[in-house]
């Protein structure tokens, strides 16, 4: 299975925030959308960074309440690992495990095309394992 299939099932809608918005605005967006990260992008859809709950916690630990008024660009993770629609789920799992992150932007032709979360990957892996299990049960039953 590839990222393209995940996006076909879940959609390509991505919550983004411009780099000049404040941490406070980003926190409210995370809470409103019930998500763990927002992609920081420019008007053309280029990925500039990612702001996760971990980044917010680091900002608060470093600057206290003053972090709320800081721009997202100050605390975002600027070195973002990305993938394409052709990336396999196995590759996504390896990237997430090695990089210790839970959200992976999908980029095509330099533009944001979606995002894959660890929850998306786990959901599809569990479905695949269950399908394999059922296929084996059916095979054994019919043998």
Calculate the dihedral angle through the C-alpha atoms of 87, 89, 93, 99, rounding to the nearest 10 degrees: 20
Query: Mean pLDDT across the stretch 116-140?
Result: 84
Cα-only R_g, the chain? 18
Q: In whole angstroms, give the CA distance from residue 117 to residue 98.
A: 15
Of 140 and 100, which is predicted with more confidence? 100
Q: Are 38 and 26 in contact (CB under 8 A)?
A: yes
Task: Tell me the pTM.
Answer: 0.84
Residue 143 has pLDDT above 80, yes or no: no
Q: Are 96 and 102 in contact (CB under 8 A)?
A: yes
Query: Residue 101 has what pLDDT?
Result: 93
pLDDT in tens, 68-105: 999 999 999 999 999 999 999 999 999 999 999 999 99
pLDDT in tens, 45-74: 899 999 999 999 999 999 999 999 999 999
């Amino acid at each position: 299975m590839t990222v393209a299939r995940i996006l076909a099932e879940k959609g390509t809608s991505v919550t983004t925030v411009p780099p000049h918005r404040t941490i406070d605005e980003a926190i409210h967006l995370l809470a409103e959308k019930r998500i763990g990260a927002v992609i920081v992008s420019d008007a053309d859809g280029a990925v500039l960074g990612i702001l996760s709950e971990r980044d917010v916690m680091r900002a608060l630990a470093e600057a206290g309440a003053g972090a709320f008024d800081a721009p997202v660009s100050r605390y975002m993770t600027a070195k973002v690992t990305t993938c394409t629609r052709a990336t396999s789920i196995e590759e996504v799992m390896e990237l997430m495990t090695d990089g210790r992150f839970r959200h992976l932007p999908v980029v095509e032709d330099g533009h944001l095309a979606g995002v894959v979360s660890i929850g998306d990957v786990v959901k599809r892996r569990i479905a695949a394992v269950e399908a394999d299990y059922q296929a084996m049960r059916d095979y054994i039953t019919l043998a």
